[in-house]
A = this chain, B = another copy of it.
Amino acid sequence: MSRIDGRTPEQLRPVTIERGWSKHAEGSVLVSFGDTKVFCTASVTEGVPRWRKGSGEGWVTAEYSMLPRSTNTRGDRESVRGKIGGRTHEISRLIGRSLRAVIDYKALGENTIVLDCDVLQADGGTRTAAITGAYVALADAIAWAQGKKIVKHGRKPLTGTVAAISVGIVDGTPLLDLCYEEDVRAETDMNVVCTGDGRFVEVQGTAEAEPFDRDELNALLDLATAGCADLAKLQEEALARTLGE
């Protein structure tokens, strides 16, 4: 079966990870999964929220947002509506949890890193692109903090790497990295967050139409595990480049 954009079922869209996209942020990445583009910045602040003071441990959190015209039809700004919607809340929390899964709070020391993931253009998979890009921005921010001696010498705040991909069943076929059109038609939709060593940080599967059985679940997990491994390589390559190249 050929997909809308000609990919095979187990093929990622073209993925690009451009570092150093902001002159202000300690880490910054423009990540693209096909036409999905997310701008991720990592902001380092010395100190931690009040409830964590004196613990000797740091904190990492994330905020996700879509620009009003990142989608096909313009959406209202959440700032104008005066409240954050459920979907935004949910994705911000997912990104934060995913990155905290590879953080050693003690090694980070009492510092806070905020990941801002703003979707400039959406074509499906914005949350998985955000996690994948935010990891790279986070790694750059931590390197910066180590250079500035904000994070102490010899410590490794990152215990691993993390990437995420969507998978779904469309017309009975399990597919990797759904674009918007596929996502809309999917019977089942799953987002999987993996560490670089192939373990799971988050598995979120939802039956959009028909409930799914264990075999379908397994097929999706196989696809996602392989996809995350590919993304881990792309993250590694991106981080291997000298910033500014």
Contacts and interface: CB of A to CB of B under 8 A. Distances in A.
Contacts of A198: 213
Contacts of A210: 199
Given A89-B89, A92-B86, A200-B212, A71 B205 contact: no
Contacts of A71: 24
A118 B86 contact: no
B212 A202 contact: no
Given A101-B207, A217-B203, A65 B41 contact: no
B83 A83 contact: yes
B205 A200 contact: yes
A132 interface: no
A154 to B, nearest CB: 23
Interface stretch (A8-16, A51-59, A74-82, A235-243): A74-82
A155 interface: no
Contacts of A22: 69-70, 120-121
A206 B202 contact: yes
- Where chain A touches its partner, the secondary structure class is mixed
Q: How many copies does the complex hold?
A: 6
Contacts of A170: none
A214 interface: yes
A128 interface: no
B84 A39 contact: no
Which residue, of A41, A194, A199, A207, has the highest number of chain B Cβ atoms within 10 A? A207
Given A43-B74, A197-B211, 12 more contacts: A23-B35, A23-B121, A24-B71, A39-B120, A82-B82, A101-B207, A199-B207, A200-B213, A201-B206, A202-B207, A203-B203, A204-B204
22 contacts: A22-B121, A23-B121, A24-B121, A25-B69, A43-B69, A65-B77, A65-B79, A74-B114, A79-B79, A86-B89, A86-B90, A86-B92, A90-B90, A90-B93, A97-B206, A101-B211, A198-B213, A200-B205, A202-B206, A203-B203, A203-B204, A217-B221
Interface of A: 22-25, 28, 35, 39, 41, 43, 45, 63, 65, 67-72, 74, 77-80, 82-90, 92-93, 97, 101, 114, 116, 118, 120-123, 160, 190, 194-195, 197-207, 210-214, 217, 221, 225
